[in-house]
Chains A and B, each alone.
Chain A
Amino acid sequence: MSAPVLKIDELVTEFTIRGQKVPAVRGVSLEVKKGKTLVVLGESGSGKSVMLRSIMRVLPRGAHLSGSITYNGDNVLDKSEAEMRRLRGNWISMVFQDSLSAMDPLFRVGEQVGENIREHRRFPKTTIRDQVIRLFGEVGIPSPAARTRSYPHEMSGGMRQRSVIAMALSNTPDILLADEPTTALDVTIQAQILSLFKQIQREYGMTMILVTHDIGVAVEMADEIAVMYAGKVVEYGDAKQVLGAPAHPYTQGLIAATPQKGKRGRLQVIPGQPPAITAMPGGCAFASRCRYATERCRKEMPPHTQLAGGHMTACYKTEDGQALAQLVRQ
């Protein structure tokens, strides 16, 4: 087994809202191996996007990070802003959800992609232009030379997402972070973009962390899956294990709430809402929505429990092997 490219240890990201510290990420530990894809699954407000942005340290003012994020033997959180700048878009790149608002409306798409190269390397203008055209071809944009001269609003959503991916690839980074990269697209385009990601990963041998709320995307892409709920990882492991034998009641609920081929009848819902980050309960954050919850769940946060094959979950139910076996059978 190869060593992890990126290792996140007990990451806590807090925001200061009206003088009060509010945690959005509450102690997340994850790692990704070279050339693999980690999918972070969770509903909106689970802290998954903030976690992803914490890796790059592109957070709003007043955000405070603690724990450690190890990349190439260094803790990213200790780096100066200038060192971070050299890392961003160069060794670690990011693809955002909404490609329209992710681009400056007043600059041509080609310029914005070329800018990513220009900010990190000194190349003559013509070299950069050629590179941008090559990248556009690589991500499957038809007539790339002409498209570099378009403005963002002149492109379709799919083309725009492709050019945002081209932008992220422009310095052949080690790690690609993608924040809901297909959510804003319709289904056929989604499938195209996902297969583009796979193709890129094959060609570049790139490591990917993909954040999504869509189990379909996770099934398609993940080598490993981390399920996040209320700022914590509640289940983490090999994709097959997590999807095939979900150990945490939340993951089970998520899977049960997803339509599946060949299955009829009403979809199950997870009742209730995730807790607001300003009013986090003391025990397990999922307790109020969990049908297996006990007094103990409400009072104490369950620790991470190792299951077979590196599979891990944070639930008291799984501590007693009995209950787990029951849950899996259901």
Chain B
Amino acid sequence: MLNFLLRRIVYMIPTLLGVSFVVFMLIQIVPGNPVDALLPPEASQEAKENMIRDLGLDRPLLLQYMNWLGKVVQGDFGQSIIKKYSINELMGEALANSMLLALASSLFSFFFAVLLGVYAAYRPNSWVASLGNMLAICGISVPNFWGGLILMGVFGIMLGWLPPMGMTSMGGGGFLDVLAHLVLPAVAAGMVTLGTMTRMVRSNVYELLNQEFVLTLRAKGARPITILLHVMKNATPPILTVAGLQFGNLLGGSVLVETVFSWPGLGHLIYQGITQRDYPIIQAGILVISIFFVVLNIIVDALHALIDPKVQRV
């Protein structure tokens, strides 16, 4: 197992190098640059050129990349061009906020997906199964930012049950306050995951229930709970695989939800970075998300190997 983990961690390095290089180069293709965002439109050509030189943006790209990489390896993402803050600090806070949101929406969506999916597999003709199916289709096809706006409008503004945006109220910031602010964005971001996962769990469990070994279990006189236990253990590897990817998506992909709800997370930060051409922020943000994706994959694979004896543990 240790060997397996070490090897996977070593494999991480080329993946992340590749990601960082591609991202670094792609940003350069996008028209516009941070100087336009920093200086007033009437600034002289000379002032612009001076600033470009100051920021080191006139040097060869490869050199810029190597410089940046050298610092990143030492754990320093540099400084935001626009905000003049250390990116490590900006990123740290945003990451914590995004984590909170991603955890909340995963908890919400994984819990209900497994509940609905398993129930629907056991009783495929029940109204709960139809409800699950409907939810799944809605979750997959309704864009999360639109769903978010509707949730915000209904529960945040019309009914006024929950705070419609932000992470804390004015002067607030206690645990309950943050929790209340968390509900709507978590549900909005989690709907897609809920939809995909419910369908996945349902079809997986349904298939497992028709397996020969379930028949054996019944013929053994096993209690329904024992049978459920066997089925769930067998359903876990595919569920974990999807859950890992979905968690990564929730962490990095909820840009729109974070923007709609003004949630000060990673997505929000990257979004700002992109609009202002704040290169170091974009690079750092995407790299951090990639690291999470790769680490999540390793965790999923490791758990997979723990559950399934046929998966090689070396």
Contact A58 B226 (CB under 8 A): no
Interface string of A139-156 (1 = CB under 8 A from B): 000000000000101100
Contacts A107-B230, A115-B226, A153-B310 given; does A102 touch B221 at CB 8 Å: no
Residues of the B chain whose Cβ atoms lie less than 8 Å from the Cβ of A164: 216
Contacts A105-B310, A106-B234 given; does A89 touch B212 at CB 8 Å: no
B218: interface (CB < 8 Å) = yes
Contact A89 B219 (CB under 8 A): yes
Residues of the B chain whose Cβ atoms lie less than 8 Å from the Cβ of A88: 218-221
Chain B binder among A32-40, A90-98, A216-224, A273-281: A90-98
A240: interface (CB < 8 Å) = no
Whose C-beta in chain A lies nearest to the C-beta of B123?
A: A61
Contact of A98 among B212, B220, B309, B310 (CB under 8 A): B212
Contact of A102 among B213, B222, B307, B310 (CB under 8 A): B213
A60 to B212, CA, bound (A): 11
Contact B234 A104 (CB under 8 A): yes
B84: interface (CB < 8 Å) = no
Residues of the A chain whose Cβ atoms lie less than 8 Å from the Cβ of B223: 85, 119
A120 to B220, CA, bound (A): 9
Closest Cβ–Cβ distance, residue B121 to chain A (whole Å): 12
Residues of the B chain whose Cβ atoms lie less than 8 Å from the Cβ of A120: 221
Contact B220 A102 (CB under 8 A): no
Contact of B222 among A94, A96, A101, A119 (CB under 8 A): A119
Closest Cβ–Cβ distance, residue A184 to chain B (whole Å): 12
Contact of B309 among A58, A86, A106 (CB under 8 A): A106
Contacts A106-B233, A106-B307, A107-B230 given; does A89 touch B213 at CB 8 Å: no
Closest Cβ–Cβ distance, residue A309 to chain B (whole Å): 34
Task: Identify whether the interface residues of B are mostly helix, strand, loop, or mixed.
Answer: helix
Whose C-beta in chain A lies nearest to the C-beta of B309?
A: A151
A185: interface (CB < 8 Å) = no
B308: interface (CB < 8 Å) = yes
Residues of the B chain whose Cβ atoms lie less than 8 Å from the Cβ of A104: 213, 217, 230, 233-234
Closest Cβ–Cβ distance, residue B240 to chain A (whole Å): 13
Contact B230 A101 (CB under 8 A): no
Within 8 A of A (CB), among B190-229: 210-213, 215-223, 226
A153 to B310, CA, bound (A): 8
Within 8 A of B (CB), among A53-99: 56, 58, 60, 84-90, 93-94, 96, 98
Contact A105 B234 (CB under 8 A): yes
Residues of the B chain whose Cβ atoms lie less than 8 Å from the Cβ of A119: 220-223, 226
Whose C-beta in chain A lies nearest to the C-beta of B233?
A: A106
Whose C-beta in chain B lies nearest to the C-beta of A117?
A: B220
Total residues of chain A contacting the partner, CB 8 A: 30
A103: interface (CB < 8 Å) = yes
Interface string of A261-294 (1 = CB under 8 A from B): 0000000000000000000000000000000000
Contact of B221 among A87, A103, A105 (CB under 8 A): A87
A26 to B229, CA, bound (A): 36
Contact B220 A101 (CB under 8 A): no
Contact B212 A96 (CB under 8 A): yes
A93 to B221, CA, bound (A): 9
Contact B221 A86 (CB under 8 A): yes
Closest Cβ–Cβ distance, residue A6 to chain B (whole Å): 16
Closest Cβ–Cβ distance, residue B237 to chain A (whole Å): 9
Contact of B216 among A60, A90, A102 (CB under 8 A): A102
Closest Cβ–Cβ distance, residue B61 to chain A (whole Å): 51
Contacts A104-B234, A105-B234 given; does A58 touch B213 at CB 8 Å: no
Whose C-beta in chain B lies nearest to the C-beta of A102?
A: B216
A116: interface (CB < 8 Å) = yes
Closest Cβ–Cβ distance, residue B208 to chain A (whole Å): 10
A230: interface (CB < 8 Å) = no
Within 8 A of B (CB), among A144-177: 151, 153-154, 164, 167
Contact B220 A167 (CB under 8 A): yes
Contact B213 A103 (CB under 8 A): yes
Whose C-beta in chain A lies nearest to the C-beta of B310?
A: A153
Whose C-beta in chain A lies nearest to the C-beta of B209?
A: A61
Closest Cβ–Cβ distance, residue B48 to chain A (whole Å): 64
Residues of the B chain whose Cβ atoms lie less than 8 Å from the Cβ of A87: 221
Residues of the A chain whose Cβ atoms lie less than 8 Å from the Cβ of B216: 94, 96, 102-103, 164
A88 to B227, CA, bound (A): 14
A103 to B223, CA, bound (A): 16
Contact of B220 among A60, A89, A106, A151 (CB under 8 A): A89
Most buried by B among A84, A94, A98, A154: A94
Closest Cβ–Cβ distance, residue B209 to chain A (whole Å): 9
Contact A115 B222 (CB under 8 A): yes
Contact B219 A94 (CB under 8 A): yes
Contact B233 A101 (CB under 8 A): no
Contact B309 A116 (CB under 8 A): no
Contact A89 B211 (CB under 8 A): no
CB<8 Å pairs between A and B, sample of 5: A102-B213, A106-B234, A115-B226, A119-B222, A119-B226
A-B residue pairs, 4 tightest by C-beta? A88-B221, A89-B221, A89-B220, A101-B212
Residues of B within 8 A of A (CB): 210-213, 215-223, 226, 230, 233-234, 307-310
